Amino acid sequence: MVESKVVLITGASSGIGKATAEQLLDEGYTVYAAARRVDRMAGLKERGGIPVNMDVTKEEDITRVIAQIISEQGRIDVLFNNAGFGQYGAVEDVTMERARYQFDVCLFGVARLTQEVLPHMRKRGSGTIVNTSSMGGKIYTPLGAWYHAAKHALEGWSDCLRLEVEQFGIKVVVIEPGLIETEFGEVVARPIEEIAGDGPYRPMVDALYKSMMGGNTKYSPPSVIAKVVSRAISARKPKTRYVAGSMGKTLIRMRRLLGDRGFDRMLRKQMLGG
């Protein structure tokens, strides 16, 4: 049993966030599980977790939750910035409102929550911040401009943060999941078809949807990432990045080896059938 550290996990109602909360509760951590859908975290509460309602794009939610944790526990040892989603669609089709929301969730929400937690970690001279990026923070796919832009931005933001806060004993870790069994595919599929309509990018949308939802695509369970997070936050000197899950290491390596045009050709063939 590890020392009972206090952990805040966002996006904890499903997928990676929920699996990580379960993993850390089993290991003896005190876990605050944050999400918009509190009713979906009843199972975590039964296991000893503390569900809290939080929308990472709302300032009042962030300040309220951090104040609650500090009041009840006196500290936050680990912040796992995991909440996110994928806004897919052609650049020409996706509205700026939708694009801004992608960044609000995946970058600005992360940044604001981190700002709120940092003073408490600095005071204690320790802490770990884990940010869920994606293999998508290192590669790109058709119709994913805004999602990949947000994840690429999170990668650079995390690197700068790491250098700024290491002097205070605070560690920053980036997790880059590959293909994971979560609600990601469903969340992507519904709006992308609506956005495309019968417009010029509809054939590309249909091809991508077929590729993403095809039976030959292999996904890893969220528990794979949960174990990585557990390892990272318990390490005295964690890696700056962890890649895990189906196709993650493979695609990042191929992106590096093939170059731009070679990777373009591979994507057209594998994802667009051309």
Quote the percentage of the chain above a pLDDT of 90: 85
Pick the CATH number of 6-183+220-248 from 3.30.460.80, 3.40.1180.10, 3.40.50.720, 3.30.499.10: 3.40.50.720
Nearest Cα residue to 74 out of 113, 42, 108, 30: 30
151 in catalytic set: yes
What is the model's pTM? 0.94
Average pLDDT value for residue range 27-48: 97
Residue 3 has pLDDT above 70, yes or no: no
* pLDDT above 60: residue 207: yes
Catalytic residue check, 123: no
Q: How many CB atoms within 10 Å of residue 209?
A: 18
How do residues 82-101 score in pLDDT, each as one tens digit? 999 999 999 999 999 999 99
**pLDDT tier, 209 (very low <50, low <70, confident <90, very high otherwise):** confident
Give the active site residue among 29, 32, 147, 201: 147
| Long-range Cβ pairs for the range 21-27 (8 Å, 24+) | 21/49, 22/47, 22/226, 23/223, 23/226, 23/227, 23/229, 23/230, 24/226, 24/229, 24/230, 25/49, 27/1, 27/2, 27/230
Q: Is the per-residue pLDDT at 178 higher than 80?
A: yes
Q: Residue 62 — pLDDT band, cuts 50, 70, 90?
A: very high
CA distance 168 to 55: 28
Tell me which of 5, 18, 138, 151 is the catalytic residue: 151
Active site residue 101: no
**Per annotation, catalytic residue among 13, 134, 158, 246:** 13
DSSP structure class, residue 220: B
User: Of residues 133, 134, 158, 246, which has the active-site annotation?
Assistant: 133
Question: Active-site residue 133, yes or no?
Answer: yes
Instruction: Say which DSSP state 104 is in.
Output: I
- Measured CA to CA, the distance from residue 67 to residue 25 in angstroms comes to 22
Q: Is the CB of residue 5 less than 8 Å from the CB of residue 77?
A: yes
